[in-house]
């Protein structure tokens, strides 16, 4: 059985407004398109709405392998996503006519929703634009600079030099 597939039959028969808290941990290799280095901690609330099931995401936490834009080293980047909402509609006709996002449906054959797509989207939105090491890690071009200045001054100059970071998107 697919661990990302959840049964929502009870919610279908429940009153509108009924909420169900849900917490789980998913293996990183369920999302092989990302280089996740930790399992995904998932906390959400499923709410019965007239049109389907609203998925209120409390938090999604994991870690991802990314490359530091300054030193090109591989680093483990913590991802913490909080407070978003996605909807699964019962069937065609209940969904909004226009939506910029892909519309998701409850799989009525087995009363299930698949969490793969909403989690994948949330991770995509949370990808860091310009990940950097937590500590200062700029590589100095020792060979190109004469060794006349003390290291402390070189360090300050390097950090203050805007050319070094002109291609880095500001955070
Ligand atoms: Zn770095």
| C-alpha neighbours within 13 Å on the C-beta side of residue 60 | 26
Q: What sign does the dihedral 56-24-116-113 (CA atoms) show?
A: negative
The Å distance, Cα 141 to ligand 1 centre, comes to 15
The Å distance, Cα 112 to ligand 1 centre, comes to 43
pLDDT, one tens digit for every residue, the chain (171 residues): 799 999 999 999 999 999 999 999 999 999 999 999 999 999 999 999 998 999 999 999 999 999 999 899 999 999 999 988 989 998 777 677 766 667 899 998 999 999 999 999 999 999 999 998 888 887 655 444 455 555 565 556 555 554 544 445 555
* Structural domain count of the chain: 1
Q: Is residue 29 assigned to a domain?
A: yes
Strand partners, 1: none
The Å distance, Cα 111 to ligand 1 centre, comes to 47
Q: What sign does the dihedral 113-62-86-43 (CA atoms) show?
A: positive
The Å distance, Cα 10 to ligand 1 centre, comes to 49
The Å distance, Cα 70 to ligand 1 centre, comes to 5
Confirm if 8 and 111 have CB atoms less than 8 A apart: yes
The Å distance, Cα 95 to ligand 1 centre, comes to 45
Q: Which domain range does residue 9 map to?
A: 5-126
């Amino acid at each position: 059985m697919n661990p990302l597939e959840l049964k929502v039959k009870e919610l279908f028969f429940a009153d509108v407004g009924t909420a169900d808290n849900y917490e789980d941990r998913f293996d990183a290799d369920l999302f092989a398109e990302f280089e996740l280095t930790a399992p995904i901690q998932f906390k959400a609330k499923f709410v019965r709405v007239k049109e389907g099931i609203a998925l209120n995401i409390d938090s999604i936490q994991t870690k991802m392998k990314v490359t530091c834009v300054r030193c090109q080293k591989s680093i483990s980047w913590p991802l913490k996503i909080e407070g978003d909402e996605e909807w699964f509609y019962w069937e065609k006709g209940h969904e909004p006519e226009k939506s910029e996002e892909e519309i998701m449906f409850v799989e009525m054959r087995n009363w299930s929703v698949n969490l793969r797509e909403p989690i994948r989207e949330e991770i995509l939105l949370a990808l860091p634009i310009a990940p950097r090491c937590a500590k200062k890690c700029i590589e100095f071009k020792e060979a190109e600079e004469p060794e006349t200045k003390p290291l402390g001054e070189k360090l300050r100059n390097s950090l203050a030099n805007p050319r070094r970071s002109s291609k880095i998107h500001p955070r």
